[in-house]
A and B are shown apart, each in its own frame.
Chain A
């Protein structure tokens, strides 16, 4: 429960441990990447495309180069090495070459003494664009001219899809998809473009080392994969590029892709000076990938007893201009399309296309958010059709260990779907608050629009699940290094190196807890997160970082302890220093034609959550106040219960945002609301307190039995909030975010 009283901090596994960065962040003292500075530093700025699609005829730098304070103006010709980069496929130019494919694509770079000088000079760069018709309709994209004629994502073990602009398509065929049930429910669902909207904009500092190499201090999610993309574009060896983690102000997937890394390094190497870059809020909205918008066609067939017989779903994702992690999102959307239910027959098709819309990639939930919204809406409709209680319908179909997923993978680990449903359903729902009350506690909040008129209450329920860790044969590992030595007082102390990115999720705390537990020591310090002193940690993504970092630190600590026991004791000046690499159980790719597993598993493990939501909706104005949220989440083992409930509350807020308000709006590919004035995030009046019940069913293969906890709340909360809205309004509400117009019926 959220009200758990903090215990005395001993800092071991399972303890409530306060965050070391909590106080400084609340007091405004935390040093974010945007606070970096260095002596003699220049400021970098990026010139971006005002078009969603255009040919570049020429770029004239003459006027910009003569502006005051300017030290460098660079274009694609100045990229020292490989001209393109990408998380999985190098399909995105470091700087646009002859064509821009999205609004805000980087075209040129400027370094100046002052950021204002850099912006002014960028305005004087003359780019001769020939606007082209943008590809903006995902359904039509597969018939239009290819944006990437060389089809960079094809031929990587994916299904061969000859249609233009397909990033990836996957078909999962399971059992007999033509089987009929007693009833069939079909619907079409739409998901708008959500943004990670982290509060700390993209920022970093690139410092030349004087020997041709570079140190980049940056807010990111995976230091080593940044290095491996940056080095070839700079024509440097990997060890010449050192990436160091700077204070991260939120990530949520939006920092998986590069932002300032190559650009800042190019400017720094060119000028021989440290170069700082900080995106403005507007630039941040165009400068990173978003959650894929989706259109989903779903058909659920079931028998009278409520048992699902067959699920058929077609998922169309708009990937935008470049691949980013779209191929993995496409597959994830398909893998979790049926929800956490045992379904013997299924046909799932998931396709992602290139368009000239804003590029999309990783965001918390990674494909499972979109399908959960559609699948859970279908389950509610099925319950209504069969006159069954929605909770009962879900229980009758709940996935359990031993069941087989649509990919043919048998669930071998923990899968307490029925348990999270029962525990969530058992949480007491509060009685409606009496009227009259302060209008701030009614729909419309501070807007003072109702005293109770038009207000209808609704209760919704949803269940969701997704994978934990990287999937489909990805070699997923984390390194950790432990140094044992005697401190100044002659006491045994430890220093832990792990490149796991602390993005606000609290992994540094977990690393310390693991080390203290394994070494039975209080004196544990964490070395800076960097590529310079330790191997890769993998990404702070896919709800994997706590699992993987805990696994690696546990291995290294146990090895160090064994070494210490072998030596008997450490003398002054002695030390034990060793590094270990942790891997979770190997996965294998899905068959490109059938979407079936080619080994034992395509995913390592799963986590599920159930959520009940109470809303009050003003049905005449289409405004909503979410009154209460109760959730039961499958967490394996809560290493730090306070941090787990924090993740649940934050993840829930993010899913609530998608349900009610968060959407990047576009017009012909141009973003029209790149600001916090018009891209709205939930406030304290929009997000109610959350009652969190942690279901601890240990995952057999995971350190301490833990599961990642960051994504399941986001996966399920969008679906659960809209379920409650449907109950309050009686409307179908097949699109998120739900707009006031949709509720009113305009």
Chain B
């Protein structure tokens, strides 16, 4: 277990131990370890890195540190700036899990079911990646390259998520077979950006990576169908492909109602 006290130290350790698995809240990592699915050479504990814990708004850009928790998003000022992300945060696990789980963890895991991903995608978020070599940013859409795979280099850490809040009406919905504490059978974030005349939707758990669909507002009548058509769901233990596609169509219709009301 490596426990750096600053971002610089963390990056140095990551460069030295590229096999080290970063951990923040541990809500994904510890489950993997407990189920014996992963045995990393080392654990890089980022809980003592203050730079990752903060969020800030500068020149219209919201910078959310990788260590910001769902509880902080849900109950802090970020909720007003990123309402769909706040709604998504509310759907994550239980209060205890929301107190521990972080944005950076959700991006690191890069699950197609990651709850924070669809709302960030509809807001066009970028990911900030840091290493001893320097800092780079890339669009979240490019960062997510496959199921539980992302574009991180072995010496890099996710340091922040950058987003320019659109201010557009937006919402997030998640379907699961019980009323709390579920992994998404399917999820949807949607925003109706009148300024740009654009509808944007992103869905989870209906393809290898969260899907992204955009269309002119004028196509609102067919948009729910476009979203359902864009999905590439599978049958698994959590749900059937047919149900996922059906539910996406219903969710998209309701989300449009909410955002265009």
Chain A positions within 8 Å of B, measured between CB atoms, are 119, 280, 282, 440, 443-451, 453-454, 620-623, 625, 660-661, 665, 672-673, 675, 677-678, 680, 682-686, 739-741, 744, 746
Contacts and interface: CB of A to CB of B under 8 A. Distances in A.
Q: Counting chain B CB atoms within 10 Å of each CB, which of A280, A445, A451, A744 scores highest?
A: A445
B184 to A, nearest CB: 8
A665 B87 CA distance: 31
B180 interface: yes
B254 A447 contact: no
B11 interface: no
Contact of A621 (B36, B91, B250): B250
B238 A446 contact: no
B197 to A, nearest CB: 26
Q: Counting chain B CB atoms within 10 Å of each CB, which of A449, A451, A680 scores highest?
A: A449
Interface string B173-197: 1111111111101000000000000
Interface string B25-62: 00000010011100000000000000000000000000
Q: What 6 A-B pairs have minimum CB-CB distances, sorted nearest first?
A: A445-B179, A685-B179, A447-B174, A685-B180, A446-B180, A449-B173
A683 B177 contact: no
Given A446-B90, A450-B254, A451-B258, A678 B176 contact: no
B148 to A, nearest CB: 14
Interface string B139-182: 00000000000000000000000000000000111111111111
A673 B237 contact: yes
A280 B183 CA distance: 21
Nearest to A673: B237
Interface in B239-261: 239-240, 242-243, 246-247, 250-251, 254, 257-258
A683 B179 contact: yes
Contacts, number: 100
A678 B238 contact: yes
Contacts of A280: 34-35
Contacts of B171: 448
B240 A678 contact: no
A686 B242 CA distance: 25
Nearest to B242: A746
Nearest to B247: A621
Nearest to B34: A280
A677 B35 CA distance: 12
A215 B252 CA distance: 61
Nearest to A441: B179
B200 to A, nearest CB: 18
A677 B31 CA distance: 10
Given A625-B179, A684-B180, 9 more contacts: A440-B180, A444-B175, A446-B181, A447-B173, A623-B175, A661-B178, A678-B183, A682-B178, A746-B243
Q: Counting chain A CB atoms within 10 Å of each CB, which of B91, B177, B242 scores highest?
A: B177
Contacts of A622: 243
Contacts of A620: 250
Contacts of B239: 740-741
Given A450-B254, A672-B237, A445 B175 contact: no
B243 A448 contact: no
12 contacts: A444-B175, A444-B179, A447-B176, A449-B173, A449-B174, A450-B254, A453-B257, A677-B183, A680-B177, A682-B178, A740-B243, A744-B246
B180 A454 contact: no
A746 B34 CA distance: 36
Given A623-B175, A625-B179, A661-B177, A448 B91 contact: yes
A451 B253 CA distance: 13
Given A447-B174, A451-B258, A678-B238, A744 B179 contact: no
Contacts of B173: 444, 447-449
A214 to B, nearest CB: 30
Given A119-B36, A453-B254, A744-B243, A443 B179 contact: yes
Contacts of A449: 173-175, 251, 254
A660 B240 CA distance: 16
